[in-house]
Structure 1
Amino acid sequence: MFCIEPNEFYRETRGRRQVVEARHLVMYLAHVELGYPLKDIGHRYHRHRSTAAYACRVT
């Protein structure tokens, strides 16, 4: 749907808006559907846990 290369999810920079939105969706699904803790999700995507929490709020 987003046509994002998998390595773009793990970059240190935010990237294009399309990448940010796709990363938020992945973080949301990992937390809500799969039950992963926000700390683990943030670590996996090189972000702070609060960023993962924000992704869950806006998605």
Structure 2
Amino acid sequence: MLGWALAFLVIALIAGLLGFGGIAGASAGIAQFLFIVFIILFVIALIARAVRGRPPL
């Protein structure tokens, strides 16, 4: 999921440089959403691992 977020970020940067504001804004929004979902799932995984008795990393 982090890979998808980075891909959309790169698309947004390239579209912004080329002057495609609408595409850049949409891609940046998708990248932000995917990054937030990634962080939430990562934290849930860390908590689940800690509850099972294993160290976080």
Range into which the TM-score falls when normalised by the shorter chain? 0.3 to 0.5
TM-score (norm: length of structure 1)? 0.39
Which of structures 1 and 2 has the bigger CA Rg? 2
More helix by share: 2
Relative to the length of structure 2, the TM-score reads: 0.40
